[in-house]
Amino acid sequence: MRKENSLQHIILNGGNLFMPSVSVDCVIFGFHDNELKVLLLKMKNSASWALPGGFIYKTEDIEDAATRVLKERTGLSDIFLKQFHVFGQPGRAEKKFHINFLKKEGISLDKNNWIIQRFITVGFYALVDFAVVTPQPDFSSVTCEWHDLDSVGDMFMDHKQILLKALETLRLQLNHEPIGYQLLPEKFTMPELQKLYETILGKKLDRRNFQRRILSFGILKKLKETRKGGAHKAPFLYCFDLKKYRKALEEGLQGGW
Amino acid sequence: MRKENSLQHIILNGGNLFMPSVSVDCVIFGFHDNELKVLLLKMKNSASWALPGGFIYKTEDIEDAATRVLKERTGLSDIFLKQFHVFGQPGRAEKKFHINFLKKEGISLDKNNWIIQRFITVGFYALVDFAVVTPQPDFSSVTCEWHDLDSVGDMFMDHKQILLKALETLRLQLNHEPIGYQLLPEKFTMPELQKLYETILGKKLDRRNFQRRILSFGILKKLKETRKGGAHKAPFLYCFDLKKYRKALEEGLQGGW
């Protein structure tokens, strides 16, 4: 690890490098083969799991900081990260935890050190195909791994609350934004698209209602091809109408007022 | 004005009172008699209009800071303020503007003064009945007034961008959250409710589609009474089913997946 990315360097010089009191945390959801996962870091010298996050350089846009964290942890760029909530309770940072954590790493802090001041954090989330990600730990962690959403226990600070709020936001997003591009193959069947929605929502949906509603948004093109090889009648293939998909991303799905 | 609320006191002591680098700005939309307005401050010594905003005390929750600003500017409490976006571009504050503005007020700044550092701001919005509001200017402003949305020109810093983003968010909110409680009388007609939606959206809606969709959410109770006195057939009165209305506020309107 390069010196300027070492824990010691960042803790001792962060006050000059970064904006005070503001961080970003990223909830990176991964979808692949009908599984939904979340990317977490195992912290050094601790049993805690944390969300990938970071600080904002003094002249860096806050959105760019989140994009940088995503890139550093996953290797991915060109991923749409969505700001979803600011977590700003005064007691959210555990000062003692930081001091002890850093002591174990051989770093002792001045009482005015920037890292033990109050921080608010801006939460971002992204949904990516986890098969294309190469997880990378950061300066404060030993591993970076995908976790099943259901099996995530207690987390560092308020990170569990941030994760749950992101999941709630992602689920609400299904009501007003299209989803699926870069998560499904270019051509997919209606049951495959339904399965994506069901996996995110964590519940079964009625087949006919799903089809009627998703078609009403006008973001799908039905192809003449069918998916052959199954035991049932070969289902038709669909692809996204990318022009309409992108319009719906900006303006909301049809079904607005 | 009490000394501790004076501009000079706040500028010179703010570094000890407030979190560094973070502010809140509130977009307070007002609805009354089919008009939609926004509450703005006319700044001292300047032609600029600004959103009501403020800083966060060192031990204050960020949501509480926004609620405090709303209360100070409008006299209202118990109003639902919704966090909608963080504005975090590094160049958003105009350092020179601040320095000149304060110079005219007889306050000269140390170059490290907290007010001329980089700030991110957390945007909140609320929709209130403007007839019940008593607008109050703050320490940096001479007046606090309702403005027609259409007539708002250039604003202080990035406040116009914040206002437009809030309006966009409010309009999208109509797709997935109920609206109208505390803005309409307890009993209202379907055309009155439709007019509220039309005013926020800035466009006409089809009467039958509106009625069909709004009833499908299950948040309205049709009363046996009618509104008498008009030239037309007396329309039925409705009221909100508050239990279902509050549930829809938390979980999103029916019509989710």
Q: What's the pLDDT score for residue A254? A: 58
Both structure tokens of A141: 């962690």
Q: What's the pLDDT score for residue B1? A: 45
Chain B nearest CA to A216, separation (Å): 13
% pLDDT > 90, chain B? 61
What is the pLDDT averaged over residues A223-235?
A: 82
Which residues of chain B are within 8 Å of residue A23 when distances are taken between CB atoms?
none
Which residues of chain A are within 8 Å of residue B174 when distances are taken between CB atoms?
256-257
**Is it the case that residue B235 has pLDDT exceeding 50?**
yes
Q: What is the mean pLDDT of chain A?
A: 90
Q: Which of A22, A175, A256 sits opposite B22 (nearest CB)?
A: A22
- pLDDT, one tens digit per residue, over A201-221 is 999 999 999 999 999 989 999
Both structure tokens of B224: 């046996």
Partnered with residue B147 across adjacent β-strands are: B38
Are the CB atoms for A39 and A95 separated by under 8 Å? no
What is the pLDDT averaged over residues A122-151?
A: 92
Chain A nearest CA to B21, separation (Å): 7
Beta-strand pair B141-148/B236-240: unpaired
Are the CB atoms for B240 and B173 separated by under 8 Å? no
Alpha-carbon dihedral sign for residues B94, B100, B102, B104:
negative
- Alpha helices by DSSP H, chain B: 7-17, 62-74, 95-104, 159-176, 190-201, 207-216, 242-251
Which residues of chain A are within 8 Å of residue B255 when distances are taken between CB atoms?
175, 255
Q: CA nearest A105: which of A15, A47, A45, A49?
A: A45
Query: Where residue A135 falls among pLDDT bands split at 50, 70, 90?
Result: very high
Measure the CA–CA gap between B203 and B83, rounded to whole angstroms. 25
Which among B58, B118, B120, B254 is the top mutation candidate for probing chain A, defined by the most A β-carbons within 10 Å of its own β-carbon? B120
Cα three-residue angle B165-B167-B168, rounded to 5 degrees: 65
Which among A16, A17, A18, A22 is the top mutation candidate for probing chain B, defined by the most B β-carbons within 10 Å of its own β-carbon? A22
Which residues of chain A are within 8 Å of residue B85 when distances are taken between CB atoms?
83
Q: What is the mean pLDDT of chain B?
A: 90
- pLDDT, one tens digit per residue, over A74-92 is 988 888 899 999 999 998 8
Query: Does B44 or B208 have the greater pLDDT score?
Result: B208
Measure the CA–CA gap between A161 and A155, rounded to whole angstroms. 9
Say if the Cβ atoms of B19 and A86 lie within 8 Å.
no
Greatest Cα-to-Cα distance within chain A, rounded to the nearest angstrom:
70
Which residues of chain B are within 8 Å of residue A252 when distances are taken between CB atoms?
172, 175
Both structure tokens of A62: 């806050």
**Domain boundaries in chain B?**
3-175, 177-251
Chain B nearest CA to A194, separation (Å): 11
Give residue ranges of A with CB < 8 Å to any B CB: 19-22, 56, 58-63, 83, 85-86, 88-90, 118, 120, 122, 172, 174-176, 197, 201, 205, 210, 213, 252, 255-257
Q: CA nearest A16: which of A68, A64, A59, A52?
A: A59
Measure the CA–CA gap between B22 and A22, rounded to whole angstroms. 8
Both structure tokens of B55: 């800083």
Q: Measure the CA dihedral B218/B224/B229/B232, to 10°.
A: 60
Q: What's the pLDDT score for residue B138? A: 86
**B189 residue type, one letter:** T
Say if the Cβ atoms of B61 and A88 lie within 8 Å.
yes
Q: CA nearest B125: which of B38, B252, B41?
A: B38
Q: CA nearest B39: which of B24, B26, B31, B28?
A: B28
Helix (H) and strand (E) counts in chain B: 7, 10
Measure the CA–CA gap between A21 and A83, rounded to whole angstroms. 18
Say if the Cβ atoms of B90 and A59 lie within 8 Å.
yes
What H or E segment, with its residue span, contains residue A158?
Answer: none
- pLDDT, one tens digit per residue, over A163-209 is 999 999 999 888 888 999 988 999 999 999 999 999 999 999 999 99
Q: Which of A61, A120, A175 sits opposite B90 (nearest CB)?
A: A61
Q: Find, in chain A, the residue whose alpha carbon is nearest to that of B254.
A: A175
What is the pLDDT averaged over residues A12-25?
A: 94
Q: What are phi and psi of A225, to 5 degrees?
A: -75, 155
Q: What are phi and psi of A192, to 5 degrees?
A: -70, -40
CATH number of A178-251: 1.10.10.10
Q: What's the pLDDT score for residue A101? A: 83
CATH assignment of B3-175, among 2.60.40.60, 3.30.450.20, 3.40.50.300, 3.90.79.10: 3.90.79.10
% pLDDT > 70, chain B? 96
Rg of chain A on CA atoms, in Å: 21
Q: What's the pLDDT score for residue B252? A: 76
**Is it the case that residue B255 has pLDDT exceeding 60?**
no
Cα three-residue angle A55-A57-A58, rounded to 5 degrees: 125
Greatest Cα-to-Cα distance within chain B, rounded to the nearest angstrom:
70
**Is it the case that residue A2 has pLDDT exceeding 60?**
no
Measure the CA–CA gap between B117 and B21, rounded to whole angstroms. 7
DSSP string, A107-127: ----TT-GGGS--EEEEEEEE
Both structure tokens of A214: 């998703």
Measure the CA–CA gap between B161 and B86, rounded to whole angstroms. 12
Query: Where residue B97 falls among pLDDT bands split at 50, 70, 90?
Result: confident
Q: Find, in chain A, the residue whose alpha carbon is nearest to that of B62.
A: A88
User: SS3 for A86?
Assistant: strand
| Sheet with A188-189, side-by-side order of all strands | A188-189, A236-240, A220-226
Which among B16, B19, B69 is the top mutation candidate for probing chain A, defined by the most A β-carbons within 10 Å of its own β-carbon? B19
What H or E segment, with its residue span, contains residue A210?
Answer: helix A207-216
Say if the Cβ atoms of B255 and A175 lie within 8 Å.
yes
Say if the Cβ atoms of B118 and A21 lie within 8 Å.
no
- pLDDT, one tens digit per residue, over B102-132 is 888 889 888 889 999 999 999 999 999 989 8
Say if the Cβ atoms of A122 and B255 lie within 8 Å.
no
Alpha-carbon dihedral sign for residues A242, A245, A246, A247:
positive
Name residues whose C-beta falls within 8 Å of residue B5's C-beta, 6 or more positions apart in sequence. B139
Measure the CA–CA gap between B31 and B200, rounded to whole angstroms. 9
Measure the CA–CA gap between B85 and B159, rounded to whole angstroms. 12
Is CATH 1.10.1040.50 what the domain over B177-251 is classified as, yes or no?
Answer: no
Q: What's the pLDDT score for residue B4? A: 63
- pLDDT, one tens digit per residue, over A142-156 is 899 999 998 999 999
Query: Where residue B202 falls among pLDDT bands split at 50, 70, 90?
Result: very high
Which residues of chain A are within 8 Å of residue B175 when distances are taken between CB atoms?
175-176, 252, 255-257
Measure the CA–CA gap between A85 and B92, rounded to whole angstroms. 20
ipTM given for this complex = 0.87
